[in-house]
Structures are given as structure tokens and as C-alpha cells.
Amino acid sequence: MTVPLTWYLVLSGILFSMGAVGVLINRNALVIFMCIELMLNAVNLAFVTFSRQQNSMDGQIFVFFIMTVAAAEAVVGLAIIIALFRNKATVNVDNINLMKW
Amino acid sequence: MLESLLFIIMSLIIIACAIGVIFQKNPIYSAVFLIQTMVSLAVLYVLLHAQFVAAVQVIVYAGAIMVIFVFVIMLLNLNKDELERDRNKLPMQKPAAIILGLILVVMIGIIMARTVFQSAGGEYTPEVMDQIGNTQLVGKMLFTKYVLPFEIASILLFAAIIGAIVLAKKQIIKEEK
């Protein structure tokens, strides 16, 4: 007996929503970045599930490109956070409001 | 039966660890929970007959990306009052965000549960994939059908390296002058 593929999709949806909630409730820029990674992982799970359902390899290839983008985003984003921390000595997004208005 | 049991255990671990990522005060605990989430996701990829994606998930996500995160957390060396400060600037933010998140879960859940799968049209059934080998198929696809996106991805990674060096080095050069 195999697991219905719908379950994987529901798990992916739950994981994505948790990432979105994490972005909304956290004030620490590093944790917000981790929640973005959580959302990217949820999308990867959905891609692999549809790839399995369609008996196709395309979804798995797309997962690699998403991973590439995630790695590039993490590297550049963390470099920005380090540069911000040097200038303002904080990673709290409430205090980084220079460009707010 | 074993597969269902494994799926249920792993999805419970994933959800529990995701809650840990969101609600931990200390970013290093969030990072450790996120590593556990990613490793458990790799198990689900193996269940979905995507062995190579599972290996890459462990090596790249749980290995490389999370090492960068932990490295930056250690480098910044945040103290306790830095983490606690200004937490109550928007008092209703947390409950409002959780309610919105629950609405999002229900919406996505309804859409996902109603998904009607079309009949599978592809040629790579699990049996074929086991015969040829998942890794070989991924390599073949990357160097034939997806060769242009593959090259663009390499340019993107190159740009990210340059960007990280430029952003992180700026201050040091200024101080030297």
C-alpha cells in the first residue's frame, strides 16, 4: 500500500503556511531568512510529488534550480545582514526602517 | 503499510520541527530545528523515488546552506537583550499572523485535497527509474533538455559569489583608507 500523493501536497501546504507565519511573527532577520528557506522546501516537496505523479523527471530538475536560487539568495541575503549588522549593530527588522517611508 | 507509517512519522517530525523553527527565541535553536526539517524531507523524497534529490537535499540544504546560517549566527554573536528587545511593538501581530496562517492552511488544504490527478503520461515510471537509475536520468536531462537553464544557474551562482564578496568586504576597505 502506498501513500496517497494528496497527503504529500497537504503536507507541502502546511509547511508553506508555517513558513509564511514565521516570516510574519519573527522580528529577527536571520529567523525570517530561515522561514523563507522553509517555504522553498515546501515548494520543492510539491514539485517532487507532481513529478512522481506524472512519471516525469522535469519536476526533479526544477528542484535543482530552486536549490540553486535558494543558495544564491541565502549567500547574498546573509551578506546583506552582516553589512547591516556592522552599520547598525542590530538584526531586528523593527529597527531597520531607514527606507520605510 | 510500512511506507504509510514512515510517511506519518516523518510528516509529524517535519511539522513539529517547523513549529520549533518559528517559535524559538534563540536563532541557533531555530537553525538546528531547520536542519532536522530538511533531513526529514529528504526521507520523503526517497519515498517518492527521487533518490538523487534526497541526497542533494542533505548535502546542499542541510549541509552547505545551514552551515552558512550557523556560521553567520555565530559571527554576529547576538546577546540576549538584543534578541528580546522591542518584541511588543505591534501587540496584536502574533495572534493576527497565526489566524492568517490558519486561514492559509485551510485554503491550501482545500485546494490540495480536491486535486484531481490526470492520468500519468510520462515515461519514467518508478520501475523504469529503478532500472536506469535516478542519478543517470537527472544527468541526462540536465545536459540535454535543460542545458541552457543549467548554464544560467551557473552564472547566477557566480553573481552570488561576487555579490557576497562585494557586500561583505565594503566596510573593511573603508576602514583601511
Per-residue pLDDT tens for B116-141? 777 767 777 777 777 787 888 888 88
pLDDT-above-70 percentage for chain A: 97
Q: What is the pLDDT of residue A62?
A: 93
Cβ <8 Å between B138 and A60: yes
pLDDT-above-70 percentage for chain B: 89
B48, B68, B142: residue with CB nearest A61: B142
Per-residue pLDDT tens for A70-88? 999 999 999 988 888 888 8
Which of A:45-74 have CB within 8 Å of B?
45, 48-49, 51-58, 60-61, 63-65, 67-74
Mean pLDDT of A9-14: 92
Measured between alpha carbons, how far is A77 from B22 in angstroms, rounded to an integer? 19
Q: What is the pLDDT of residue B80?
A: 65
Q: What is the DSSP string of chain A?
A: -PPPHHHHHHHHHHHHHHHHHHHHH--BHHHHHHHHHHHHHHHHHHHHHHHHHTT-SHHHHHHHHHHHHHHHHHHHHHHHHHHHHHHHS--BTTT--TT--
Q: What is the pLDDT of residue B77?
A: 78
ipTM of the predicted structure? 0.91
Query: Which residues in chain A have Cβ-Cβ distances shorter than 8 Å to B45?
Result: 45, 48
Which of A:15-44 have CB within 8 Å of B?
15-22, 24-28, 30-31, 33-35, 37-38, 41, 44
Confidence of residue B87 (pLDDT cuts 50, 70, 90): low
Per-residue pLDDT tens for B96-115? 888 999 999 999 888 888 87
Pull the grid cell for residue B7: 510517511
